[in-house]
């Protein structure tokens, strides 16, 4: 029983950290897209 709880907890932590990383990557991509669009408009 204890073992299952520990494994579940670890999986949850991994999921949350993955979610956080994905979120940051998405934000970075949006920023890059914005910069690229601005450059295109300027040219």
Question: Do the domain assignments include residue 43?
Answer: no
Distance from first CA to last CA of the chain, Å, rounded?
63
State the pLDDT confidence band at 40, using cuts at 50, 70 and 90.
confident
pLDDT of residue 8: 97
Q: Which domain holds residue 31?
A: 1-35
Question: Do the domain assignments include residue 42?
Answer: no
Question: Do the domain assignments include residue 7?
Answer: yes
- Judged against a pLDDT cut of 90, whether residue 13 lies above it is answered with yes
Task: State if pTM tops 0.75.
Answer: no
Rg (Cα) of the chain, in Å, rounded? 19
Tell me how many domains the chain contains: 1
pLDDT of residue 9: 97
Rounded Cα–Cα distance for residues 36 and 43 (Å)? 11
**All residues at 6 or more sequence positions from 42 whose CB lies less than 8 Å from its CB, including other chains:** none
- Judged against a pLDDT cut of 90, whether residue 1 lies above it is answered with no
Question: Do the domain assignments include residue 40?
Answer: no
């Amino acid at each position: 029983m204890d073992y299952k709880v520990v494994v579940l907890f670890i999986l949850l932590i991994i999921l949350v950290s993955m979610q956080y990383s994905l979120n940051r990557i998405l934000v970075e991509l949006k920023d890059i897209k914005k910069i690229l669009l601005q450059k295109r408009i300027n040219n």
